[in-house]
Amino acid sequence: MQQHLNGIAKMLLNHAKTFRLHTGNLVSRSRLKKKCPGSPSEELRDCIQATLSDWISTAKLSSKDLTEILECSIPEATDAITPEEREEVKVSVKLFLCESGQSSIKEAVEMACQTLAVSQLDSVIIAPPGPLEGDSQSLAHLQPAWEELEALVRSKQIAAIGTSDLDKDLLEQLYNWAQIKPSSNQVNLASCCVMPPDLTAFAKEFDIQLLTHNDPKELISAGTFQEAVREGAQDLNIADWRLEWVLRYNVIVKSRGIIKSKGYLVSAKKAST
């Protein structure tokens, strides 16, 4: 039976051009709750592997389901927010873009809204792909992504937008250029144990919230992603998938400050043959 399911999963993966995975709520998923991952990268890797494995063994897979966009999620692990509780929670998102030169921000935001059954995300922090070897992060590198975010604020799909790992000079350049200003900037405490004084002063003057994070520069490498998918799919040969973006969401109960749900959405495209 399992071999039959694996065969169908392989057929679906081979036919699809886009592969999207939703881990479901990690706060309530018992299989992942027992293990405390050491880093965001390990957590994501474990989530991809476990979700794919559960999807193959529990979803009603059929060869009739051949489609170009393959959605992989566990039905009972969804995180839909009811209209009654929407006012009580804050939905915050961090979007890691894995490829430059392609615009998938709108697609990622729409998938998050659909998954959580909300019309607007309260905040989105963008982590663009790192610059190419030898280049440094620049305003020109950030502008295309920021313009996409601004359009989503105008269409009311996002309330506030923020950045990640910008130093004072780059944050100032972005602030001066942007039509919709950044409301926050995340700083990695691994790279600086104390907030740089110039960044703190600038953020205070222009009312930009400085937040801390412990995400690595590359949340998950192409090799680790392939490995997680291969293991989750019981070694099916899927070496031709390219990670597009990873979106991590937190749903926080405002009055108590606790995380009600947390999960990842992942999108990969089949590499052109």
What does the pLDDT look like over 83-104, one tens digit per residue?
999 999 999 999 999 877 667 8
Average pLDDT over residues 216-242: 78
CB neighbours of 56 closer than 8 A, spacing ≥ 6?
5, 6, 9, 232, 233, 234
| Residue recorded with tokens 């009811």 | 82
Instruction: Specify the pLDDT at position 93.
Output: 97
Pick the residue with more confidence: 130 or 188? 188
Q: Which two tokens stand for residue 26?
A: 């990690």
Pick the residue with more confidence: 125 or 76? 125
Contact 144, 112 (CB under 8 A): no
Query: Is the confidence at residue 125, as pLDDT, over 70?
Result: yes
Query: Is the confidence at residue 28, as pLDDT, over 60?
Result: yes
Query: Is the confidence at residue 142, as pLDDT, over 50?
Result: yes
CB neighbours of 47 closer than 8 A, spacing ≥ 6?
23, 26, 32, 263, 264
Instruction: Specify the pLDDT at position 17.
Output: 80
Average pLDDT over residues 54-71: 70
Which pTM value belongs to this model? 0.89
Among 171-175, 183-187, 242-246, where is mean pLDDT lowest?
A: 242-246
Instruction: Specify the pLDDT at position 172.
Output: 96
Query: Is the confidence at residue 195, as pLDDT, over 70?
Result: yes
Query: Is the confidence at residue 3, as pLDDT, over 60?
Result: no
Query: Is the confidence at residue 35, as pLDDT, over 90?
Result: no
The rounded distance, in Å, linking the Cα atoms of 227 and 83 is 39
Average pLDDT over residues 115-130: 93
Average pLDDT over residues 222-229: 85
Residue span of the structural domain in which 213 resides: 1-270
Average pLDDT over residues 160-173: 95
Number of domain units in the chain: 1
CB neighbours of 253 closer than 8 A, spacing ≥ 6?
88, 89, 260
Among 49-53, 182-186, 209-213, where is mean pLDDT lowest?
A: 49-53
